[in-house]
Amino acid sequence: MTDGEGVLRWGVIGTGGIAHSFLEAMQETPTGRVTAVGSRSAGRAREFADAWGIPVSHGGYAELARDEGVDAVYVATPHPGHHPHTLTCLDAGKHVLVEKPMAMNALQVAEMVAVARSRGRFLMEAMWTRYLPAYRLARDLVADGMIGRLCSLSAEFGISVPFDPDHRLFNTELGGGALLDLGVYPLALATDFLGELTVVGATRQLSPDRMVDTHTTVLARGEGGVSATLSCASRSTMPGRAVLVGTEGWLELDRTWAPTEVAVHRDGREPEVFHRPYRGNGYVHEVEEVARRVAEGRTQSPDMPWSESLRLARLMDLVRDVGGFVDEGAEAVAG
């Protein structure tokens, strides 16, 4: 399903900040164009459409899913909406790119995958980091043995946001908490390089109202016994690096969530630094991945397949169980 020129026609569900970032990315690629936007508020949908020159706006998500001028939908609503809104779009025959985390828990992700499989539609979690040039280079260097056999991995992502119970990072109804919103980056990096993770321990700090986690650290063990230390925070800024240590040196990414530089340190040698900037705001790379795989008739991306989203969701569930977290998941399914 594309227009007559092979261009993927996108619809966008949600009109928040991440939706604006998606539209910025769409200006950088000829592979697709946004033809419709949907919001719970018709006025907000129209305002967003006018701002970006989108021809059609819908005052409802189901209406956008039924739009015959849309081939693929980007789900950009808060976390609790990812599951129901994705199912609505898949049931309507649309391909879906859904923001991370894919859903609030592994059970929801499993249902989304099952529906995508039954409908024969493309579905991908928007783990944009995996499609960035620097990240791809790091993966290739490690696979080629540049730093020898992996021994350990550390990654972190922390930002400082003043506490506000209505802010999405602190509001349980919006799927708040550092783990789901920010921790998904270091955890996804670890599962990519280390495979299935066993959670050895997890610590957390809570928001002032004790409703969500604001600082979480996970100690895990990957395949082959490789250790991983993974941290995230919503009320304190972290350096944001990812470091992979091997038997013959170490590799460092300048930013866990959006790297542009890879530094390789090997014993007795000067560090090798590789600069690999991304295009635009970086989201264009995952947008083009969706267009490429849909054109090939695939339903998954080999770099972020359904099995990986399931593994990541199970890992986050396990971290919350081990750390004794407030259960932000089951109570927010309806969205």
Catalytic site residue 100?
yes
Q: Which of 55, 57, 99, 54 is nearest to 74 (CA)?
A: 99
214 by DSSP, 3-state: which?
Answer: strand
Whether the CB-CB separation of 242 and 150 falls below 8 Å is answered with no
Cis ω before 101 (30° cut-off from 0): yes
Q: Round to whole Å and give the CA distance between 254 and 260.
A: 7
Q: What is the CA radius of gyration of the chain?
A: 20
Q: Round to whole Å and give the CA distance between 93 and 116.
A: 9
Both structure tokens of 229:
């230390």
The secondary structure of residue 171, as a DSSP letter, is -
Q: Report which secondary-structure segment, H or E, holds 307.
A: helix 306-323
Q: Which residues make beta-bridge pairs with 232? A: 157, 216
Catalytic residue among 9, 79, 100, 130: 100
How many beta carbons lie within 10 A of that of residue 218, not counting itself? 27
Whether the CB-CB separation of 19 and 85 falls below 8 Å is answered with no
The residues annotated as belonging to the active site are 100
